[in-house]
């Protein structure tokens, strides 16, 4: 069924998921029940994804009676319901906590870069099974995969907010809770929804997927030949260090991961971003920088150094700014392309790796990905 999903148009996929949520087998069953012509489904879809209306009642192209009937049976444009919203003190970062139909919760973050870019960071899973030692989501364990519309609707929420003063979401990053490539089909379906020119209409080049490094999925993604950006959470240039903080490295070691990256670059000719969180005394020496530089093989390899954001459980310290800049200098001198990231939203725990729904039960912490 999931593979059939790839064949559906974004609109069909959206209508099927929304109809399903309202208790129908699929969009065809919904259409049959209400005697809807295909253009009615298109009006619904456009209202939700392009016009960004608040709810079914506000889709003015639909007859009032139909709006009332759909609303009454629980047909909703939003699979995520806002629970709370927090704003950083500088006003540039907004974090939303959203409840899913089964009570699970996920977070998503809007980052406004001085009015130039409005980037939304979205979650692909409730929790995460990969247990990276430095990540709050990973410390809490895995609950479930999100559906394509549960992912898309996080972006829709912020798009609606921005639209109120004539602004738009300009970029989407899959850097919220979860491992996007462990929920590959739903994430690619969400990408199709985000990208659809008849709907949300965000260009592939404005979307970035960040992965812990699932080699088989990197190959699949290369074959998909999209223009979507790929980021790899590297965080260490040696297997010993990487395995000590990222259990996934025991399944896909660095050599295997970097081979997959080379295959991806050969196939797509696209740049790959390597995320590298700076941890004091763990991965931040000049030697580590030189080892990292050796793995960066040319202009399509780009390192993003991320200052560590504190998490509730981890007994880990971030590198101080001087060490980060010195590390960047070593990389640069060795010819690697490097950017030092500016953290946003730390004061509301909205920065990279800090997302964790407060209500997420710790009981799930035992559930881990098969990595052995
Ligand atoms: N599962 C995906 C998305 C994770 S979040 C992945 O692993 O790429 C996006 C980025 O934030 C990843 O690079 C992740 O390793 C990083 N990150 C996690 N915890 C962090 C923390 N506490 N401080 C800074 N970056 C962190």
Model pLDDT for residues 232-269, shown as the tens digit of each residue: 999 999 999 999 999 999 999 999 999 999 999 999 99
Q: Is the CB of 210 under 6 A from ligand 1?
A: yes
CATH C-level class of 81-366? alpha beta
232, containing H or E segment? strand 229-233
Instruction: Give residues with Cβ within 8 angstroms of 295, minimum separation 6.
Output: 237, 254, 258, 301
Mean pLDDT of the chain: 92
Structure tokens at 335: 């010819």
How does pLDDT run across 54-88, given as a tens digit for each residue? 999 999 999 999 999 999 999 999 999 999 999 99
pLDDT for 322: 97
Known catalytic residue: 128? Answer: no
pLDDT for 140: 81
pLDDT band of 366, cuts 50, 70, 90: very low
Q: Which pTM does this prediction carry? A: 0.94
Distance 150 CA to ligand 1 centre (A): 21
- Mutate-to-test residue for ligand 1 from 124, 249, 277, highest number of ligand atoms within 8 A of CB: 277
Closest atom of ligand 1 relative to the 314 alpha carbon: 22
pLDDT for 359: 53
pLDDT for 302: 98
Distance 81 CA to ligand 1 centre (A): 25
Cα-based distances in Å from 107 to 65, 112, 185, 318: 35, 17, 21, 23
pLDDT for 310: 86
Sign of CA dihedral 323, 325, 326, 327: positive
| Mean pLDDT, rounded, for 31-36 | 97
Known catalytic residue: 135? Answer: no
CA 235/CA 283 separation, integer angstroms: 7
How does pLDDT run across 139-171, given as a tens digit for each residue? 889 999 999 999 999 999 999 999 999 999 999
pLDDT band of 368, cuts 50, 70, 90: very low
Q: What is the DSSP letter of 146?
A: P
CA 268/CA 353 separation, integer angstroms: 28
CA 30/CA 265 separation, integer angstroms: 43
How does pLDDT run across 288-345, given as a tens digit for each residue? 999 999 999 889 999 999 999 988 766 899 999 999 999 999 999 999 999 999 888 8
Checking if the pLDDT of 24 tops 70, the result is yes
pLDDT for 223: 97
- Which among 121, 132, 135, 352 is annotated as catalytic? 352
Q: Is the CB of 122 under 6 A from ligand 1?
A: no
Cα-based distances in Å from 67 to 48, 62, 70, 252, 330: 13, 7, 5, 50, 61
Closest atom of ligand 1 relative to the 275 alpha carbon: 13
3-class secondary-structure state, position 174: strand
Domain ranges of the chain: 10-72, 81-366
pLDDT band of 348, cuts 50, 70, 90: confident
pLDDT for 357: 63
Q: Is the CB of 75 under 6 A from ligand 1?
A: no
21, containing H or E segment? helix 10-21
Q: What is the DSSP letter of 247?
A: G
How does pLDDT run across 87-133, given as a tens digit for each residue? 999 999 999 999 999 999 999 999 998 878 999 999 999 999 999 99
- Which among 17, 107, 150, 275 is annotated as catalytic? 107
Checking if the pLDDT of 371 tops 70, the result is no
């Amino acid at each position: 069924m999931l593979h059939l999903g790839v064949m559906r148009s974004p609109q069909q996929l959206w209508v099927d998921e929304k109809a399903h949520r309202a208790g129908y087998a699929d969009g065809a069953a919904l259409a049959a029940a209400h005697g809807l012509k295909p253009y009615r489904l298109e009006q619904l879809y456009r209202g939700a994804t392009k016009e960004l209306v608040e709810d079914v009642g506000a889709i003015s192209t639909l007859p009032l009676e139909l709006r009332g009937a759909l609303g009454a049976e629980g047909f909703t444009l939003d699979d995520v319901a806002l629970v709370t919203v927090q704003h950083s003190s500088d006003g540039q970062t907004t974090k939303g906590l959203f409840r899913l139909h089964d009570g699970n919760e996920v977070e998503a973050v809007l980052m406004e870069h001085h009015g130039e870019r409005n980037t939304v960071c979205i979650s692909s899973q409730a929790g995460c099974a990969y247990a990276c030692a430095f990540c709050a989501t990973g410390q809490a364990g895995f609950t479930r995969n999100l559906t394509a519309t549960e992912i898309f609707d996080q972006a829709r929420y912020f798009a609606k907010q921005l639209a109120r003063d004539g602004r738009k979401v300009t970029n989407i990053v899959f850097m919220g809770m979860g491992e996007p490539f462990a929920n590959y089909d739903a994430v690619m379906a969400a990408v199709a929804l985000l990208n659809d020119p008849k709907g949300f209409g965000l260009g592939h080049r404005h979307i970035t997927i960040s992965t812990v490094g699932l080699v088989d999925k990197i190959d699949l993604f290369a074959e998909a030949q999209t223009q979507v950006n790929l980021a790899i959470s590297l965080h260490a240039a040696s297997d010993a260090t990487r395995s000590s903080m990222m259990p996934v490295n025991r399944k896909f070691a660095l050599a295997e991961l970097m081979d997959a990256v080379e295959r991806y670059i050969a196939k797509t000719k696209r740049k790959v971003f390597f995320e590298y969180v700076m941890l004091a005394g763990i991965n931040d020496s000049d030697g580590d920088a030189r080892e990292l530089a050796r793995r960066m093989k040319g202009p399509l390899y780009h390192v993003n150094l991320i200052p560590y954001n504190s998490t509730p459980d981890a007994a880990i310290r971030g590198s101080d700014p001087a060490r980060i800049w010195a590390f960047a200098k070593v990389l640069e001198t060795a010819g690697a392309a490097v950017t030092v990231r500016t953290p946003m939203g730390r004061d509301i725990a909205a920065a990279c790796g800090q997302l964790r729904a407060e209500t997420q039960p710790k009981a799930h912490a035992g559930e881990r990905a098969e990595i052995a």
